[in-house]
Chain A
Amino acid sequence: MAFGSVRRKEDARLIRGQGRFVDDMDLPGMLHGAVLRSPYAHAEILSIDVSAALQHPKVHAVLTAAELGDMAWMPTLSADTQAVLAGDRVLFQGQEVAFVVADDRYSARDALELIEVEYEPLPVVMDARSALAPGATPVRDEGNHVFDWEAGDRAATDAAFARAEVVVEQDMVFPRSHPAPMETCGAIAAYDRVEGKLTLWCTTQAPHAHRTMYALITGLPEHRIRVVSPDVGGGFGNKVPVYPGYVCAMAASMQLGLPVKWVEDRSENLMSTGFARDYAMRGRIAAARDGRILALDVDVLADHGAFNATAQPTRYPAGFFSVFTGSYDVEAAHCRVTGAFTNKAPGGVAYACSFRIAEAVYLVERLVDCLARELGVDPVALRRQNLIRPEQFPYASKTGWVYDSGEYEAALDEALRLADYSALRAEQAFKRSRGELMGIGISFFTEAVGAGPRKHMDMLGLAMNDGAAIRMSPTGTAQVAISVQTQGQGHETTFAQIVAHELGLSVDDVDVIHGDTDNTPYGLGTYGSRSTPVSGAATAIAARKVRDRARLVAAAMLEVAPEDLVWREGRWSVAGDPSVGASIPEIAAAARGTIDLPAGVETGLDAEAVYDPPNLTFPFGAYVCVVDIDPGTAVVKVRRFIAVDDCGVRINPMIVEGQIHGGLTDGIGMALMETIAFDEDGNCLAGSLMDYLIPTAVEVPDWETGMTVTPSPHHPIGAKGIGESATVGSPPAIVNAICDALEVAHIDMPCTPSRVWEAMP
């Protein structure tokens, strides 16, 4: 049993400053690239003059769209094309216009100042509603409409609303935010002209998918591209897409035959890389007077920016938003999402959203609170009345999902117990009588993670399956190469634990290899909390293949029939005589040795697996948030936050808790502080950490966590994903608490002091 809170293998280097992040690397002859960006949100480019920049003594090249030719445009993960460098027109402020390559990063930035670009500003389109209004300025030649997408049963939903005794409608915006990993995006491209091989060290969460993209973009054969994702300083979905800076570095290295490094600044990261959210939602909830929820309906306007570069499965243009019926057993539901182009940076799916589930959970958890307010009932009681019951799993939702498992009421009860909910309500009543503003917010959410089954889910036509390959050494230690890519989630430890657990090895005797496309199996990478559900499953299955092979070898070693052997305490031993047996290290030595192997059994114990998940996993959680609002300053303080999460089997509870702490902090950021705002001319107002505020140690409370364990029945080790649960589940709990304190129906995020002040009774 190797599961448990073992401390992390990767920490040994990271606490000593010996991690290896992209910008830490230096290669012989390496040059440095920098991007010239548009100062306008929308403008024609009349001319670009790079002659002065080229005369700079330390400059080696200046790329523009004209120079890039076929590489001036690249495919996106949403089957759109995105400009690598703008040719005739810029479509958002911060868009890439030119790329300078120089001896060092200081000279490269000097040379940016020497490029003359003549712009003719055009009218800007800054939100989805005005983008789709008649007569709107076209952001793209093909118009501003990206897609319409529907799920659920409109007729049944309309019928339920028509006969409902209570209908509550609420407009709400999940504002544009940004994942803002501490390490920005960057890459080093090194093209070897002799071998015809391109190596790209890159901050990517999906090294293999990137390799395929780079083959499409550069025209190089895929087996001559090597992508290496080294240590990554946080991803949070920001490092899934391909960015123009990567492509420029590749193009420059191919042109110059030298390595080229590009690392963006924070301002570039915030202004030009994948944003999150930006959903304007009109939600409706229908109920009987007794509190039974009948139906949910929602219309969404999705702002996708200037290019549709949203990272999600091909057939899901609004991601998994259709899980918006949440944890409740409703009769009917319908959603419609319309996407629009605007003069903003592309993105949308990022920041631990699990493909738009952050938006879906926010919608339903706010609507249920609005309904509770309308009915005058406790929001906990209303939820309890409508939760899907344990015996209903696997539960087929009205929008087409099959939830794997859940014991919702048990998790809710645990959260209420930890919070001492009734005492909190009593405290609140007392404080209200004194005019103090205290709020209690509940969120009960269901996630859907582990994309996904190849029948339904692909990116760029690539099935969302993932792999693991185990190599057993003759001395009985193991290396497991995985197709997913950690960005701090602890894969080097937890994936070793899975192998150790399955093979009866010590965790120290298993090392994890990841991020290098030359020596790891193909897969789609880490995002959407899919590592444990998909590659984690592949790892367990590969280990079981090792174990099955080991049984045959052990049978030969012990001169018994394989059927006479049982797996017990990490050894194959003779049934009825545990003293006769062999451990995996002993068998590994024999398998590489000279004993006669049975026919059909190959030398060694190596094994591989690619896992096509039969379904997603559906972790869930019950959150309680307590806020105090200063009546004089309108500052919201999250005083307590109780989070009970159920992600099935916990491989490493310590790591799971850390994931939850981080996600809860995201929730505080989104609910109270963070937004990428623009002015009417399209200027980004959140282009630095002076304006884009993320929580410090002072804004967050001591997190209070609890757990229940409802394994996923279809997962090899019963584990569900967890990484994004807290980011998804916490914003509605916080906003519900604020609305509860203010006794208002709704307030849009971020609930800054000025907004809360406006909303005060």
Chain B
Amino acid sequence: MAGSVRVTMTVNGAQQSAEVEPRLLLVHFLRETLGLTGTHVGCDTSNCGACTVHLNGEAIKSCTLLAAQADGAEIKTIEGMGQEGALHPLQEAFWEHHGLQCGYCTPGMIMASADLLERNPKPDEQEVREALAGNLCRCTGYHNIVKAVLAASEAS
């Protein structure tokens, strides 16, 4: 693949810059160029949401955006959730309510949930379910994830 582009973005508060192929997907930029492997790949058709991160404050599926398209953007990944030594309320709630098992969907699930709570701080159960319909989980049956998101909403 001929040619490369320089992309610069703020990821979890730190400025990052690299020469990349124009076709490089954002998810691979985050995982392979920056080594932020919390963001996962679960499909090849933009269905599963395991790659969900925040782009300028909104949840997006990073498998469906080129790194070059995120040039200049502010990105937040699971590694940027919570402060040093203190978990984000959603991380705490997923742990407390057993909202994860294999943990593969968890980073995307937490990022999508954070976006929901940003837009709608006090969602009801149905709103949580609909907001997470873009995030597939094979382990939990969603039950405890919904409980965790509602609990995090209560706590804040």
Contacts and interface: CB of A to CB of B under 8 A. Distances in A.
Given A690-B47, A694-B136, A17 B79 contact: yes
6 contacts: A15-B87, A15-B110, A18-B38, A182-B138, A184-B42, A661-B142
Interface of A: 7-8, 10-19, 21, 23-24, 26, 105-107, 110, 180-184, 231-234, 236, 265-267, 487-490, 654-655, 657-665, 688-690, 694-698, 700, 702-703
A443 to B, nearest CB: 17
A15 B42 contact: no
B48 A19 contact: no
Nearest to B111: A17
A182 B40 CA distance: 9
A10 B106 CA distance: 12
A284 to B, nearest CB: 34
B101 A488 contact: yes
B62 interface: no
Contacts of B101: 234, 488-490, 658-659, 662
A183 B36 CA distance: 17
Interface residues of B, number: 60
B145 A266 contact: no
Contact of B107 (A17, A267, A489, A658): A17
B137 to A, nearest CB: 7
Interface string B1-37: 1000000000000000000010110001001100111
A18 B96 CA distance: 18
A662 B141 contact: yes
A110 B1 contact: yes
A549 to B, nearest CB: 35
B133 A7 contact: no
B139 A21 contact: no
Interface of B: 1, 21, 23-24, 28, 31-32, 35-45, 47-48, 50, 77-79, 81-82, 87, 91, 94-96, 98, 100-107, 110, 125, 128-130, 132-146
A57 B127 CA distance: 51
A556 B121 CA distance: 63
B125 A14 contact: no
Given A11-B95, A17-B77, A266-B48, 14 more contacts: A7-B95, A17-B39, A21-B104, A23-B31, A106-B24, A182-B104, A183-B40, A234-B104, A266-B42, A267-B44, A658-B101, A658-B144, A661-B142, A665-B142
Most B CB contacts (10 A, CB to CB) among A16, A26, A182, A658 go to A182
A702 B145 CA distance: 11
A404 B82 CA distance: 48
B95 A16 contact: no
A489 B102 CA distance: 7
A7 B101 CA distance: 11
Contacts of B136: 182, 689, 694, 696
Nearest to B41: A23
A664 B45 CA distance: 25
Given A234-B139, A655-B98, A266 B43 contact: yes
B139 A14 contact: no
B139 A16 contact: no
B130 to A, nearest CB: 6
B102 A487 contact: yes
Given A21-B40, A487-B102, A182 B141 contact: no
Contact of B102 (A7, A182, A700): A182
Contact of A661 (B50, B77, B125, B140): B140
Contacts of A233: 40, 42, 102-104
Contacts of B91: 15-16
